[in-house]
Amino acid sequence: MDISIENSIPEELKQYQEYLQYQKNYSLYTIESYCHDIVEYLNWLKGENLSFLTVEYSDIRFYLMYLKDEKNDHNTSINRKLSSLRSFYKYLANEGKVKTNVFSFVNGPKKDKKLPRYFEYNELEELFSVPDRRTPMGQRDLLLLEMLYATGVRVGELTSIKVSDINLSLKQILILGKGNKERYVTYGEYCEDALKEYLNDGYSKLNVSDSPFLFLNQHGGVLTERGVRYILDQLIKKTEIHKNISPHMIRHSFATHLLNEGCDLLTVQKLLGHESIKATQIYTHVTTDRLKEVYYHSFPRAKR
């Protein structure tokens, strides 16, 4: 981590990092996000002359005021930080480092109601036209885009794909999802073309270390989640699209476009690897045009 408390990290936080990595099997990006939130909190405690091992509920209220009034954090950001701290203190309580998880009593602010951001079809087409397919890196980048959109996988799931996980004849990929749960995802012809081109050309040139992973960096090592985000940032700069981009935004696009084309919610849930249908319901923001189309097609007195 590049954030520290006067160049020192508590031993309990180091142990928590190891717990997340080796017992919970969280991705390095997720662990870094958790620890970033925790270190920010520890720095605030240090400024208030408080210890994270003896902090009380009344102290936490002042931390929430700090996040809201001084840092001007959005409700979503505050809730994420509370979630990180709640998990950290649950670990500390289980390990006997603290008597109780004080954050279990803390309710965060109401979540900001925001619809998932997604790309329109034409924007994705423009994005897919950017990579230079004559180069190994360009072939990899095109496959990265096509596979994110064709399967709706999370970025951590994408970077974990091994060539041996792909069934070329069935056009299916074995995905290791959250909680080490496996599922199969299917990809279509556009993704198939990009995959075959990459495997037959660019992959062999990049894979100087005989790596089992599908997505490799320029040195032949496995592409990281941060590396994927960097690639996407560079690609969108070469378009006329004035939107921020992230792997999850392409996942949003995958789900949204499926629903817009008439796919049922349960199927989308399975494809996304969601445990609960509630997590999938945020995608039911189908477009007005789609709603009109369904209405005029389904309602018996909508037209003569």
Active-site residue identified among 81, 89, 91, 154:
154
Specify which residues 174 forms β-bridges with. 184
Distances (CA, A) of 62 to 58, 67, 90, 136: 7, 9, 21, 53
Strand order in the sheet with 172-176: 166-167, 172-176, 182-186
How many CB atoms are located within 10 Å of the residue 67 CB? 22
81, 140, 251, 252: the catalytic one is 251
Is residue 183 part of the annotated active site? The answer reads no
Partners of 185 in beta bridges: 173
**Distance in angstroms (rounded) separating the CA atoms of residues 116 and 272:** 14
251 given a catalytic annotation: yes
248 tagged catalytic? yes
203: annotated active-site residue: no
Which residues, 6 or more positions from 190, have their beta carbon under 8 angstroms from its beta carbon? 128, 146, 150
Active-site pick, 97, 171, 178, 183: 178
Q: Which three-class secondary structure state does DSSP give residue 164?
A: helix
Collect all residues with Cβ–Cβ distance below 8 Å to 257 and sequence separation of at least 6: 118, 121
Nearest C-alpha neighbor of 194 from the set 248, 132, 152: 132
Q: Which residue in the list 171, 229, 248, 290 is annotated as catalytic?
A: 248
Q: Which two tokens stand for residue 209?
A: 């270390």
297 is catalytic: no
Amino acid at 302: A
First-to-last CA distance in the chain? 66
Out of 162, 229, 243, 274, the active site residue is 274
Residues taking part in catalysis: 154, 178, 248, 251, 274, 283
